[in-house]
Chain A
């Protein structure tokens, strides 16, 4: 159990990167996990198909917030098309914690990816299970 609370997760959850909002985002989208109330909002500034800037706001457990924080680092400067290809496996590699046998916490980790994908595809309600 302790291994899901790696130092990296704790650090990101205590001091998240790119936390906040953008003044005039190209896309601003929020998703939540109705089971536990975790929330993540992404503000994206997109120019010429490139994600120039990103901010996130959220409330939730360490895993959901740390995952969002790391994801913002990952996609900043990437093209929209590359960001769309960022997969569930990529995200799990990125956060580096074993959640394969923990479907409840997996949802926490994937909330940020769900928010990003829904933002980029312009779908308000991409369901979390579609990512599973």
Chain B
């Protein structure tokens, strides 16, 4: 328990009403933030405030409520843009989640830029949401997918880039941090290598934007996708950031209201960005709620959150290593990883581990974590994943370890 972190997590926990719950008469140790984070009271209040005081459709009405809603929605865009270092607020497109953001690029950018014989480079550690949209694009266009392999500790084999990157590579799409292995990938280097052959780079930031400072300029990327619900915000709101000139040259994704300029019977002309990519009534309250989450995280400081999680991850790895028959997947070096830790326990199926842990008040994820190709490579059908966030403390990890010992006893 001698873990000192830059955050007063014990105090921060009080801002999250759900963390006061008991599960099976045990305090809730929530270790599944990589799937979806909990929400602080101020984000919940912000959502409620919108629905109670100024709910109205945006970009339409000339009445006070609609003007207030529009202002708050567009301010949310500016808040998010500043958070990730975007040059222009209009480079921020609100989507439902990371998955929709990646699909938007695969359809809109892909249909205008990818043709038969072109290559798209992914990695062996991608989430299904950064595999399947590209498979669909490849099937539509005749493009070819390549996969950058990983080593025995779950790190990308960067030296293989020489072999896999070519003039035919038009896009590199990679996770910033693996949702299973926790591996942090060297984005700056990969972005430079991609650009050197004329390819664009899309970063899946679902597991990094909530946990560390992410600046799109410093990373040198072209597209960034992430989800609000993994960063203390509501579900149903996600973000696609893209370089302005790329977004401006892209045809629409979904057609409908708001995304048009002039509609004739046969054809239409389309609105400028970001409206072109936000057809239909957007998730207004959720965008406003996401901006509140961004302010909450920014006040604490993304660097402090990252350091807190690094300390906790170190403690988690140390405690898990003490358990006989437990195998950890992913890098051991804290500098190469974040706070999502996948493991298996000999003789106990991951689902049974998770069910027994639930009985101890510990919430972890069991399954393939939407990364079947990676699990096939690791030759395991499933794994257990514990993941930490700003509100976790060493006590949560101690509770996890107690539960794991109990699972072992039950099955021995």
Contact = CB atoms under 8 A, between A and B. Distances in A.
A36 interface: yes
Interface stretch (A20-28, A40-48, A55-63, A70-78): A55-63
Of A10, A37, A63, the most chain B CB neighbours within 10 A belong to A37
A50 interface: no
Interface string B345-369: 0011111100110110000001110
Contacts of A14: 347, 411
B356 A37 contact: no
A101 to B, nearest CB: 13
A36 B355 contact: no
A37 B352 contact: no
A1 B382 contact: no
Given A36-B366, A60-B381, A5 B351 contact: no
A65 B351 CA distance: 12
B355 A1 contact: yes
Nearest to B355: A1
B24 A62 contact: no
Given A37-B367, A61-B351, A5 B381 contact: no
Given A1-B24, A1-B358, A36 B367 contact: yes
A39 B351 CA distance: 13
A10 B351 contact: no
Secondary structure class of chain B's binding surface, majority of residues: helix
Contact of B349 (A1, A2, A4, A61): A61
A105 B381 contact: no
Given A36-B382, A37-B382, A108-B351, A5 B367 contact: no
A84 B32 CA distance: 41
Contacts of B351: 36, 38, 60-61, 63, 105, 108
A69 to B, nearest CB: 14
Contacts of B372: 37
Nearest to A9: B352
Interface of B: 24, 347-352, 355-356, 358-359, 366-368, 372, 375, 381-382, 410-411
Given A2-B410, A38-B381, A39-B381, 5 more contacts: A1-B24, A5-B356, A35-B367, A62-B349, A62-B411
Interface of A: 1-2, 4-5, 10, 14, 35-39, 59-63, 65, 105, 108
